[in-house]
Each structure stands twice: as C-alpha cells, then as structure tokens.
Amino acid sequence: QFHEDGFLVLEHFFTTEECDSMRNQIQRIIAEMEVPPHCRTEFSTKEEEQLQAQGSSDYFLTSGDKIRFFFEKGVLDERGNFLIPKEKSISKIGHALHAYDPVFKQITHSSKVQELGRKLGLERPVVVQSMYIFKQPGIGGEVTPHQDATFLHTEPLGRVLGFWIALEDARQENGCLWFIPGSHTRGITRRMVRAASGASTCVEFVGSEPAYDNSQFIPLPISKGGLILIHGEVVHKSELNSSESSRHVFTFHVMEAKDTSWSKENWLQPTPELPFPSLYT
C-alpha cells in the first residue's frame, strides 16, 4: 500500500500516554522558551514568504542541530513583540528535538519505529530532522501542496521518509493532511537550495511547483496516536485551521543512508556537533 500510494496510515501506533508525554514535554519547553526579538521568525510555506523570512534568517538556516522556535503569521508586531500569548503564537519547534530532548529522542528511536523501518527494508536509516507542529486554533496556517524532497534532496531520489504522528485527532476541520495518491512516482520539479554567497537571501528555489488539481487530493483524518508514513516525493498539503481546536503533531524525517548522498545544497546540513544519528540503536 505504501509503495502504491506514497503514504500509509497506521492508526493507534502510539499510545495515549506516549502522545501525552510529548505534549507535556513541549509545554515545559515553551515555558522555558527564550527567543530574542530579532530571531523571531514567522513560518510560512508560501514561496516568496519562505525566501524572505526563512531565507534571510540565519536562525532558521542554522536550526538543524538545535531546538528553535518559529511563529505563526501575524502574531508579532514590527518590533518582534508578541500580540497574543507566546504559547498560542508558536507554529513549530525544530529541528533537532530527536537528538536533544529525551522524550522525543525515545519516541523517534522507539522499538516499534525501528521495527517499522526494518519492515520497510531500510538498511541504514538516519534521522535528518524533527519538528513539533502546533496548527494553532483559528490561525494555524495552511501548508501549500509540496513534496518533502523539494527541501530534503538526495541522490538518488526516493530515500527520504516522513513519520507524522498525530498527538491529537486530526480532522478536516482542524487541518488534517491531504494527499494525491500515487504522486510519488513522478519525480520533483522544484528544489530549495542554499543560495550563492552574496545573494540577498540564503536560500532560493530552482524550478517551480506545478499547479495541482485540487480534486485529486484526498483527506487523511487520523486519530490521536496514529502515524502517517510519507514518501519524500508524494504531494501533500494541509488547510488553514479555522476550528477552535489545535492539531498537534510530532514529525521526523529519515533517510536511507546506504548508497545515498545528501545534497550539499540542502538548507539542512549535518554538523560536527550533530551528524545524522542512526535510527537503529
């Protein structure tokens, strides 16, 4: 099913207790969060805004081996002060929870995740990044149609896999994922790459995202504790969350490192402090 569709839904993969432990841990992290105003980056998936906000922000580009905070659009004034409580304004936390936080590290490397990797035939999987996504009530921004390999490029393609864990019920009302089944077989047409030194932004897009036919997308509602496996080239999106309930998710990406090269042009790079850790422990 996964190879045919490019995604797979596994309901009740994690227990309620495991989901709650992640949510409780993220509350502790937010309570201690200190983000200087000049580092407060509003997170967006729209191309021009991505280039402007993340592309010019060292805070984003150097977050691969750190735990950093990104905010929803419209929650900051021009001086970077919060217009609403900070815990309600946060869009996501990334990108190294899997490496530096004991709760998320344990989930990422849990025996059932490792067993799933082996069932999928992964021989040398490494964890490249992780994110906690909030999808805040009323303001949780839409995620435009995209392929993860646009941002996490490998040679050859087909070596990146997303693990997407619902920490609350994800329904159409609060912004569940939508997929185009089978769209992972057509390659990619767009890449986000590190820009040449001296450019006005630190990243740029090469190629363009095609216009997708909305009628091809199917929604994938999933209950708390469910896991969605996401092929690196499958086209997916999520809508704005206009409901009154959030849609918390922990997600991480794995690369099959055997006979694979990670693009030196990717925004995210392993560092001496944090080489990509093996999924198998």
Domain boundaries, the chain: 1-21+95-262
pLDDT over 50 (residue 55): no
Nearest to 131, CA basis, from 61, 226, 43, 67: 67
What is the residue type of 95? H
Q: How confident is the model at residue 35 (pLDDT cuts 50, 70, 90)?
A: confident
Q: How confident is the model at residue 188 (pLDDT cuts 50, 70, 90)?
A: very high
| pLDDT > 90: percent of the chain | 76
- Average pLDDT, stretch 263-269? 95
What is the residue type of 114? Q
Burial class (CB within 10 angstroms; exposed 0-12, middle 13-18, buried 19+) of 158: middle
Q: How confident is the model at residue 202 (pLDDT cuts 50, 70, 90)?
A: confident
Place of tokens 């490192």: 257
Q: Structure pTM?
A: 0.93
Can you give the pLDDT at residue 251? Answer: 98
Do residues 180 and 217 lie in contact, with contact meaning Cβ atoms separated by under 8 Å?
yes
Peptide bond into 221 cis (omega under 30): no
Flag the least confident range among 16-20, 28-32, 119-123, 198-202: 198-202
- CA-CA-CA-CA torsion for 87, 57, 160, 219, nearest 10 degrees? 50
Nearest to 122, CA basis, from 249, 253, 215, 27: 253
Nearest to 252, CA basis, from 46, 111, 104: 104
User: How many whole angstroms separate alpha carbon 39 and alpha carbon 69?
Assistant: 9
Q: In what order do the strands lie in the sheet with 227-231?
A: 7-10, 227-231, 160-166, 249-256, 125-133, 90-95, 67-71, 41-42
Residues contacting 165, CB < 8 A, separation 6+: 13, 14, 19, 22, 107, 225, 226, 227, 249, 250, 251
pLDDT over 80 (residue 53): no
CATH fold for domain 1-21+95-262: Jelly Rolls (2.60.120)
pLDDT over 70 (residue 17): yes
Q: How confident is the model at residue 57 (pLDDT cuts 50, 70, 90)?
A: low
Flag the least confident range among 68-77, 117-126, 142-151: 68-77
Can you give the pLDDT at residue 192? Answer: 94
Can you give the pLDDT at residue 44? Answer: 67
Do residues 134 and 112 lie in contact, with contact meaning Cβ atoms separated by under 8 Å?
no
